[in-house]
Chain A
Amino acid sequence: MNLLETLQIGLRGVGANKLRSALTVLGILIGVAAVIVLVAVGNGSSQAVTSSIEQLGTNTLTVRHGTFGPGGDGGRTQFKDLTVDDAIALADDVLAPDVQSASPVVSAQAACTYEGTSYSTSITGTWPSYFEPSNLTLASGTSFTNDDVTSSRRSVVLGQTVVDELFGSVDPVGREITCAGTPFTVVGTLEEKGSSGFQDSDDVIIAPLTTVQGHLTGYRSLDTILVQAVSGSAVDAAESEVYSILDDRHGTTDTSSRDYQVLNQASLLSTVEDTNQVFTVLLGAVAAISLLVGGIGITNIMLVTVTERTREIGIRKAIGASKSAILGQFLVEATVLSIIGGVAGVAVALVVTQFEIAGVAPVIMPVSVIGAFAVSVALGLFFGSYPANRAASLRPIEALRHE
């Protein structure tokens, strides 16, 4: 009696009660599909967040003005501004060898108009060195120069969203817009960056720092200083240099009450990745439980089948079926159920993951597909072995007497 014949007998058993088999298969199907889909959703959301953080640049540090630690600034009497001199000090080659550039940033909200069209957006005042670490590239025209900064020229670079809102299809380069009553000349436009998930990174106007300070914000503290490390691996070294320089300049004595904060994109990224991994594992675990329940369904239905077919088992044994032949027949039945469930589950999962789920585009992890399928087959063998063994161990004389 070979494998193929065992398989045929097993398949006949599966086909004998189609509704029952279908329901059992459904249990496995749901389990397998749930594992694959939920892991794909977790994975997809993780990738979305990671890519939006990577878009900000992973070799940058952001120095923010103000305190953010526990306790706030209630106890502080000294609260120094973040200044352009701080930024210049951070770019010092000797004290901060791991810092490539430091760009001071101020921003303001302003309504801008062009030929009667009005649009309110955020205007960022900074230095030309800001473009590279922010992953900003020009789509047309030019950037403003250090010379423009020194002379406070009213030259601006527009993000794609602003271009669309104010100009439509007109080429904006060389034209003049008015923001908060001040006329600016558009010298360039930015390449579209896309939404980062939290905000539209194309909804910006970038202008020389001095111009924005002179016309819009006044000479208050900088909002942030964008620090670029010489490489991705130098970010941590750059971070400690930033701390030591700014602690020195701001006269910080207690490191828990600094009047500034340094955000490290790389460490943010790894935190987010860790969080997402936990999230994905949790989703997978919940789905795995449903797969387990499906497996128990197989045991249940096989036990019913064995009881129902006790007489048949007795007949088979009387005409010479060995213990292993009976064992094989019922194991094959259980495994066929789980394999059909596994294959259908993978198919359903592949279809479902084509769609966005809860705002996340699922990304299938091949290991979850292989894993879920393998587990479903193993479940069939494992959960089918008890009923099959019970069938094989029946004494023929008692099985034959069974009604």
Chain B
Amino acid sequence: MTPVIALSGITKSYGFAETTVHALRGVDLVVDRGDYLAIMGASGSGKSTLMNIIGALDGATTGHYELDGINIDSLDESALSIVRNRKIGFIFQSFNLIPRTTALANVELPLLYRGVGRRERRERAAAALASVGLSDRASHQPNELSGGQQQRVAVARALVAEPSLLLADEPTGNLDSQATSDVLDLMDAMHDEGRTIVMITHEDDVAARADRVITLVDGMIAAERRNRP
């Protein structure tokens, strides 16, 4: 079975000559289908850079990346947008919902860009909102929702297009403890359904929810452990 993520020899550097910063210095990583991976690391360890490369938002300087069997290195911008749309569901630390747009319309957005018809879009978005327990907030705009609710809408948006990979960048970083456990419970439930999840975090108790934890130090994988098989 093809792994969802296959990274080999990934490096990323910024700047030129003496000012060059090496954010990643050769990362090899394979994530299988149904895996729940947490990436940990101190600030500046390169975890955000890795997250951007995995999310097809940024290209690696050298190395090879296959997402769900697709060779990402050779794709142009328009092909990348299709990959992001079909293969990846993003969950951001700062929620990143579109302002002045209802929760339902926010959840519909990935389907809209995929070209799904209006009726089907509505139904699938409503179902996704129901699965995060926010059916009664469908017509609310982001500024009318609490942080935890906004992040649950973001989870619904990430789920709605049935992506191969859920990519969460410090999903609980802006949430209080109750909302944190709500969102993590949701991610556990998604994992139980067999979804592949990659989550970046710097909190140990959040990482403890994952099956597998890797720790980045200075742009390299320094440690790897499995919480569960």
* A→B interface (CB under 8 Å): 1-2, 5, 12, 16, 311-312, 314-325, 396-397, 400
Contact = CB atoms under 8 A, between A and B. Distances in A.
A2 B90 CA distance: 24
Contact of A312 (B57, B85, B98, B113): B98
Contact of A397 (B58, B96, B110): B58
7 contacts: A1-B115, A315-B96, A319-B109, A320-B114, A320-B161, A323-B77, A397-B58
Given A1-B112, A1-B113, A320 B57 contact: no
Contacts of A316: 98, 109, 113
A306 to B, nearest CB: 15
A323 B110 contact: no
B110 A319 contact: yes
Contact of B98 (A5, A315, A397): A315
Given A1-B113, A5-B112, A400-B96, A320 B101 contact: no
A129 B68 CA distance: 101
B100 interface: yes
Interface string B58-95: 10000000000000000001100110111000101000
B57 A322 contact: no
B115 A320 contact: no
B88 to A, nearest CB: 8
Contacts of A5: 112, 118
Given A316-B109, A321-B81, A400-B92, 18 more contacts: A5-B112, A5-B118, A16-B100, A315-B96, A317-B81, A318-B57, A318-B90, A319-B90, A319-B109, A319-B157, A320-B82, A320-B86, A321-B85, A322-B113, A325-B113, A397-B52, A397-B58, A400-B96
A322 B112 contact: no
Kindly list the 8 A-B residue pairs having the minimum CB-CB distance in the complex, ordered from nearest.
A320-B85, A397-B57, A322-B81, A320-B113, A315-B96, A320-B84, A319-B110, A397-B58
B66 to A, nearest CB: 19
Contacts of A311: 96
- Interface of A, secondary structure class, is helix
B46 interface: no
Given A397-B52, A397-B57, A318 B100 contact: no
B100 A321 contact: no
A51 to B, nearest CB: 57
B161 to A, nearest CB: 8
Which of A12, A319, A321 has the most chain B CB atoms closer than 10 A to its own CB? A319
Contacts of A319: 84-85, 90, 109-110, 113, 157
Given A319-B109, A319-B110, A396 B57 contact: yes
Nearest to A309: B99
Contacts of A320: 81-82, 84-86, 110, 113-114, 161
A2 to B, nearest CB: 8
Contacts of B58: 397
Contacts of A397: 52, 57-58
B101 A12 contact: yes
Contacts of B161: 320
A400 B57 contact: yes
B55 interface: yes
B113 A318 contact: no
Interface in B131-166: 157, 161
